Structure 1
Amino acid sequence: MAEIKEGNSLFQKPIKENGMPAFVKPINPTTGKGYSAMNALILGMQRHDDPRWMSADAARYAGNWVKKDEKGTMIEFPKTSDIQAIRTAEGKVIKDDAGVTQTKTVEFEKPQRGQAFLFNGSQLKDLQPLEEFLAKQNEGQTLSPNERAAKMIDDSKAVIIHGGQEAYYDKLRDAIIMPEPEHFENETKYLQTAIHQLAHWSGHESRLNRPMEGKFGSLDYAREEMRAAIAGILIGGELKIGHNFGQQAAYMSTFAKILKDEPFEIAKATRDAQKIANLLLGTSQKREQKQGAEPGFKKGDEINYLDTTYKVLETYKTKSIKVEDADGTRKVLKPDYGLYKSLLEAKTNPREPEMVLEEEQGQSEEQGQTQKIGR
C-alpha cells in the first residue's frame, strides 16, 4: 500500500533506475526451485538484481555465510510437521552415544503457518559469481525471452483478433482484441500486453473459471485486474521478458482500497495468479511429466525444506533413507514417516504449496453483447 501511494510499486514501475527489471524471479540456488507466488512477490519487492535466496542455515550448509549486519526477509509457508528433540519425563534432551540429539517428527492435525528468514545472494559471502550462475541457468536455452513469450502465446491457442486502439479480453466471444503490433513501441511491449490479456483469458469457465462479471471501475473488476497484473509479473520474471501493466493509473486507488479493507485479498490474488502462470507456462504439465517416473531419493540428494537443508547420506532397499540436516542431526526415515513424505514432495514439486484460504466469490449478472476485461 505504501509503495502504491508513493508510485513505486511493481505495478507502477516495472523498470528500476539501473535499467534492470523491477521484479527478478527468486530461486533457491541449492535446489534450483522457485518460491510460491506470495513469497515470490515478497522477495521480489526487495528489488535485488540477484535472483538467489536462501536461509542462513541452508547457506551455511552450502559453504556460504551471511554478511555482517545484513537483515533477512521473512516468508511464510504451510507447515505440516515439526522436528522436536526427544526428552525424558524430566524434560532432559536424549542423546545417542555420539552425543547427537535424538529427534522425532510431530505431525500437525492442520497446517500451521511456518516462517523463515531468507537472504539474497547479494547478502551472502563466498557465493558463485552472479554472472556464472546466470550463464549456467541459461545453458541449453536456444530461444530469446521474446521468442519464448511468443511461443507461449502461440501455444495457448487463444483467439487473438488484431485491430482497433484497445487491448482487452472479450469474455462473451472468448477472444483477445489487440491493436496491430506496429502500434506498440516495440515487440516486447506488444508481448507484455498480450500476456496481460492472456491472464484474463485464463479465467474463462472452460479454463480456470474465475468470476469476471464486475463492471469497469468496480471492486470486482479491480480484483481481476490485480490477478492479471500479478500473473504478468510472475510470467515476465519466468521468461525474463519483464512486465508492463499499462493501465496502472486507472486501478491504483482501487487496489489500495482493496488492500486496506481486505488484507487477505493479496494472498488470494497471488494464489490465483500462480494458477494463471502455471496454466500459461505449462508448469502443471511439466510436473505431471516428472511424476510419470516413480519418484524417490538417491545418495547425495540435497533437499531444501522449511528453513533447513537435508542431505541424503544412505538409501536402503526398503526405500528408507538416512538424512542429515544443516545442524548435523542425522536420522533414518521410513516411507510412512511424515518428514519422508514432505521431503519427497519438496524434491519433486518445483514450487512451495500455497497457504489455503477460504474465500467467498460474489456473483453479478452479465450485461451487453460484449464484455471487455483488462482495458
Structure 2
Amino acid sequence: MAKHNVERQSLYSEVTSRISAELEEGRLPWVQPWDSAACGCTMPHNAGTARRYSGINVLILWAEVIGRGFASQRWLTYRQAEAAGGHVRRGEKGTIICYADRFTPKAEAETARGEDREARQVAFLKRFTVFNVDQCDGLPEDFTAAVASADPVLAIVEVDALIAASGARFNIGGGEAFYSPSHDFVQVPPQMAFHEPINWFRTALHELGHWVGHSSRLDRDQTGRFGSEAYAKEELVAEMAAAFTCASLGIAPTVRHSDYIASWLSVLRGDEKAIFRAASQASKAADYLLALVGEGK
C-alpha cells in the first residue's frame, strides 16, 4: 500500500477515534465549554488569509483551543508565521489539520479519452500542521489583537433576519421542534417554552440545518426513519450545521441533543470516514444559511 494511502487511513482513524472517545464520555465535540474558555466562541480561521476553516478542521481546532487554553481562534502555518515577520516559539507542538479533495490521475484521463468516457477521480487527504497565534512571537499586532465579542442582541437579530431571508415555512407552536422533509416545513415551540430564550434561536438553527438538506436545496438523504442509521447521520449533520452557524454569529452552540450519542457512535464505528463527510456537509449547510444574511467566508 502506498505511503500516502497509509497516512490518509491513519488520519481518518485517528480523528474518528478521538471524536468517538469524546462521545463515549458523553461530550459532544461541537458543544464545548465555551463559558470557561479563554477565548470567545467563533469559527477558527487562518490569521494570514482570514479564511475560515471548515468541516472536520473546525472540530479539530475547537478541541485544541479548549484543551490547551488558547485565547485565540487564529491559526498559521510555520511558513506563514515567518512570512508575517514572526516565528513559532521553539518547542511548540503544532496541530494537524487536513485538506480533502479529488483529482484525476494523468493515466486515467488519457484512458478515459481513449474510451470516450468521463475520467474517474481519486480522493486524497493532505495533512497540514498549524499553530495558534498564541504559540508565536513577533507577529504583527493585527494578527494578535483581541477580537471584539459579538453583541448577543445583534446575534439574535441576525438569526431573525436569517429565518426571514430563508423563505422557509416556519411554524411556531406545539411542544416539539422538528423539520418535516415530506412537507418541507420547520416547527419550533414558542419562545416561552424555553428556560433560556437563546435556546429557541439555537433550536431554530438546528431545524433549519435539516431544512437546508431538502432535495430542492442541498439534497441530502432525509429518508431515514427514527432510529435508523440514515436518520442518525442526518441528525449529526444538522447538529454540527447549527453549531457552525451559531459560532459564526457569535452564539455559543450549547444546546445538546445527546439522545443520539449511541446512534452516532454506531455510525462512526462502522465507517471511519463518516464524521469527515458529516462535518463537510454541515459546513455546506452552515454556509448556505449564513449566505442568506451576508455572513460567511
- TM superposition score normalised by structure 1: 0.61
Question: Is the 8 Å Cα contact of residues 50 and 122 (structure 1) preserved in structure 2?
Answer: yes
Residue deviations 1:88-110 (CA, integer Å, cap 9, x gap):
xxxxxxxxxxxxxxxxxxxxx96
For 1:10, the equivalent position in structure 2 comes to 29
Amino acid at match of 1:200: H
Query: For the residues of structure 2 that align with 1:21 and 1:247, how far apart are their CA atoms?
Result: 24
Shift in Å, 1:21: 7.9
How many angstroms does 1:163 deviate by?
Answer: 1.3
Match of 1:272 among 276, 281, 291: 281
User: Structure 1 residues 80, 45: CA separation in 2 closer, same or farther (over 3 Å shift)?
Assistant: same
Q: Any runs of at least 4 consecutive aligned residues in structure 1 with deviations exceeding 2 A, and if so which?
A: 7-11, 13-17, 19-24, 78-81, 109-114, 126-133, 244-247, 283-287
Alignment: residue pair count? 256
| Equivalent residue number for residue 180 of structure 1 | 190
SS in 1 for 2:276: helix
Q: In the alignment, does 2:40 pair up with 1:27?
A: no
Q: How far apart, CA to CA, are the structure 2 residues paired with 1:212 and 1:284?
A: 25
Alignment of structure 1 residues 109-120 onto 2, 5 Å: 112-120=124-132
Residue 160 in structure 1 maps to residue 170 in structure 2: yes
Q: TM-score, normalised by structure 2?
A: 0.76
Q: Which residues of 2 match residues 72-91 of structure 1 at below 5 A?
A: 72-78=94-100
Q: Tell me the distance in 2 between the aligned counterparts of 1:284 and 1:111.
A: 33
The whole-number CA distance in structure 2 between the counterparts of 1:194 and 1:74 is 33
CA distance in 1, matches of 2:153, 2:293: 21
Partner SS state of residue 144, structure 1: helix
Please say if 1:125 is aligned against 2:137: yes
Contact 1:51 1:120 (C-alpha < 8 Å) held by counterparts: yes
Considering only aligned residues, what root-mean-square deviation do their CA atoms show, in Å? 3.0
Unaligned segments of structure 2, at least 5 residues:
1-19, 104-120
Partner residue, 2:245: 235
Q: Classify 1:10/1:210 alpha carbon distance in 2 versus 1 (closer, same or farther; 3 Å).
A: same
Matches within 5 A, 1:1-375: 1-11=20-30, 13-16=31-34, 18=36, 24-46=42-64, 47=66, 48-78=70-100, 112-127=124-139, 128=141, 132-135=145-148, 144-248=154-258, 250-282=259-291, 350=297
Q: Does the C-alpha gap of structure 1 residues 67 and 16 become closer, same or farther in structure 2, counting only changes over 3 Å?
A: same
Distance across 2 between alignment mates of 1:78 and 1:228: 21
* Alpha carbons of structure 1 residues 45 and 206: separation in structure 2 relative to 1, 3 Å: same
The Cα shift of 1:233 comes to 1.7
Judged with a 3 Å threshold, the aligned counterparts in structure 2 of structure 1 residues 19 and 117 are, in CA distance, closer, same or farther, namely: closer
- Name which one, 1 or 2, has greater alpha-carbon Rg: 1
Closer/same/farther in 2, CA of residues 268 and 50 from structure 1, 3 Å limit: same
Residue identity over aligned pairs, in percent, reads 29
C-alpha displacement of 1:224 = 0.2
Higher percent of residues as strand: 1
CA-CA distance at 1:74 after TM superposition? 0.7
